[in-house]
Amino acid sequence: MKISVCYIVKNEAANLPRSLATVTGFADELIVADTGSEDVSREIAAQAGAKVLDYVWQDDFAAARNFTLDAATGDWIIFLDADEGFLHPAAVRGAVEELDAVRPSLDAVMVEVVEMDADEKHREIGRDRLLRLFRRSPSLRYRGRVHENIARIDGQLRLGFADARLSLYHTGYSSGIVCRKVERNLRLLQKDMAEHGEGPQHYPGLADCYFGLKDYRKALKYAILSLDSPIDTVAARSHSFHTAIESMRQLDWDLAEMLALAERAIAEFPKKPEFYGERGMILCGMGRLKDARVSLQRAAALYEHPEDGGIEAGYYSPRTASVVYARLGELAALAGDTAEAETYFRQALTTDPTNEAARQKYEKFCREGERHEREG
């Protein structure tokens, strides 16, 4: 069985060595299409043993990926961005060989992607599930000028999900570069709409772009349009729910409407902790503290003991979990459950030691406890 690893790159000298180091141990073939680098990206790829191709950029990610794909000869294709790499490189070949033998009908595989902020000491900022592994077949081609993905041109894509052996890191949404990427993606989406007309296939990307640019009204508009659209975008619905709820929060939206949307998200994704967390925070704002506590406890339980949440993306990161634990600490303290409050505050700081808000809440809790002891 032959594995081809493919990239499209431009000026990725800062990221490419780290990514290549995670694939050279198992890859039978490296294909790198360069779209006009002015740094040493081409040389780095060549030194790693890659076949380096020149590609004239056409403002179309799918076209660039399909060009690269046409040069690959492997049985399985792994298509990475330069700011991605495997977290367990030594396990990759065995995992792919197992998929090949055990799941012969699979076309493509979703892998877990750990989003890290390279500008904040590679702090985890979320988790996603993306299609990065698929069989080489003339029936499988990329579609989409931006937010492109593999599709089967002659039927329904047969999709599976990989275990942790194929997990990736991704630093492409680090705080220092995210704005530039969002502006580029919006420009490409607008170009595609100018050529083909606006359609449901654009809504998830538009919601994502406008949220990144802090235009929350437009982000909310397109997130809701995406959720109400009949088009099934791979692994995007939970992200659209998140974008809609967070946009509502930024706009000080009616809490009853926010709660209804969170309930809708939970109905679709009952095993994902983030929406129980969202519901709990909304209920806190409505003064329904007992209900909030139950919902937040469910979020914490699903984080500590994950259930299969399907192929959809997730954003319940350690930082999110820490916020939930801290709020549970506050609610327990209000209810007079001091031992439980202590436990939750400690969990908040253990899960994310950088959560200064949680630290301040815990210190306040400790001071109040000391005062009560003196007065008692």
Per-residue pLDDT averaged across 164-176, rounded? 82
- Residues 88-108: what's their mean pLDDT? 95
| Chain centre distance of CA 94 | 25
Question: Is residue 67 included in any domain, yes or no?
Answer: yes
Q: What share of the chain is helix, strand, coil (3-state, %, to 5)?
A: 50, 15, 30
State pTM to two decimals. Answer: 0.72
Do 84 and 113 meet the contact criterion of CB atoms below 8 Å apart? Answer: yes
Instruction: Give the pair of three-digit tokens for residue 83.
Output: 């700011």
The model's pLDDT over 314-327, given as tens digits with 9 standing for 90+, comes to 667 788 899 999 99
- Is residue 79 helix, strand or coil? strand
Residue 174 has pLDDT above 60, yes or no: no
* Mean pLDDT across the chain: 92
What DSSP designation does 89 have? G
Q: What is the mean pLDDT of residues 275-301?
A: 97
Sorting pLDDT into bands at 50, 70 and 90, what band is 376? low
Residues 21 and 136 in one domain: yes
Residue 206 lies in a domain: yes
Per the model's pLDDT, the better-predicted residue between 306 and 186 turns out to be 186
**Residue 351 is assigned to a structural domain of this protein:** no
Same domain membership, residue 13 and residue 65: yes
Please state the length of the chain.
Answer: 376
Residue 225 has pLDDT above 80, yes or no: yes
Position 233 confidence tier, pLDDT thresholds 50, 70, 90: low
Q: Which of 146, 170, 194 is the last residue of a domain?
A: 170
Q: Are strands 29-34 and 123-135 parallel, antiparallel or unpaired?
A: unpaired
Within-domain flag for 191: yes
Q: Report the pLDDT value the prediction gives residue 128, as an integer from 0 to 100.
A: 79
Position 82 in a domain: yes
Is residue 208 located within the same domain as residue 163?
A: no
pLDDT of residue 318: 82
**Among 170, 204, 224, where does a domain finish?**
170
pLDDT above 90 (res 10): yes
Long-range contacts: 295-298, Cβ < 8 Å, 24+? Answer: 296/324, 296/327, 296/328, 296/331, 297/328, 298/273
Q: Which domain holds residue 238?
A: 177-253
pLDDT of residue 147: 82
In a domain, residue 317? The reply is no
Same domain, 24 and 147: yes
- Asked whether residue 224 falls in the same domain as residue 156, the answer is no
Do 184 and 236 lie in a common domain? yes
Q: Quick check: 223 and 244 in contact, CB under 8 A?
A: yes
Residues 165 and 94 in one domain: yes
> CB–CB of 5/27 below 8 Å?
yes
Note whether 139 and 115 are same-domain residues: yes
> For residue 235, is pLDDT > 80?
no
Q: Are both 13 and 134 inside the same structural domain?
A: yes
Query: Please, which pLDDT band fits residue 370 given cuts at 50, 70 and 90?
Result: confident
CATH for 55: 3.90.550.10
152 plus 45 within the same structural domain: yes
User: Looking at residue 266, what is its pLDDT?
Assistant: 97
Query: Do 361 and 334 meet the contact criterion of CB atoms below 8 Å apart?
Result: no
92 inside domain:
yes
Asked if the structure places residue 284 within a domain, the reply is no
**127 and 185 both lie in a single domain:** no
Farthest CA pair distance, the chain:
77
pLDDT of 126 > 80? The answer is no
Q: Which residue has the higher pLDDT, 28 or 236?
A: 28
Whether residue 87 is found in the same domain as residue 199: no
Domain count, the chain: 2
H helices within 103-229, ranges in order?
A: 178-196, 203-212, 216-227
**End of a domain among 204, 220, 253?**
253
